[in-house]
Amino acid sequence: MLGFHYTSIFVVGTWAPLAVAHVQRYGSISLRQLMITLFNSINLMICLWELCLYFHQKHIQQTFANLKKKYALRDVPYTEALFSEVPLSKVEYASSAV
């Protein structure tokens, strides 16, 4: 659930200033402009995720291989991992992966 909050904050944080700037410049709200900027904000977030995955792919592959050995896995395990809460203090950053 925490990821949903961070994602929402990012999307609204990049979308709202663009919407406010449009209203200040043109004096009206345009539904078309709101939808385009919302799409662009979501697209920006996805591009950043993809860049992070690209730059950390070796670390991700090593971690997966270690987990596969440790738990003797044949397939991707535990589909609920996407929805589990992970505090920021538990997140490990791989500085040597880049």
- pLDDT value for 98: 42
Q: Over its length of 98 residues, how does the chain's per-residue pLDDT go in tens digits?
A: 788 888 899 999 999 999 999 999 999 988 999 999 999 999 999 999 999 999 999 998 998 888 778 777 665 556 656 666 777 777 666 554 44
**The pTM is what?**
0.62
- pLDDT value for 42: 94
- pLDDT value for 97: 47
Domain count, the chain: 1
- Give the pair of three-digit tokens for residue 19: 């919407």
What's 89's DSSP letter? G
- Give the pair of three-digit tokens for residue 53: 């995955």
- The domain of 55 spans 2-97
Taking alpha carbons only, the member of 51, 52, 65, 66 closest to residue 94 is 52
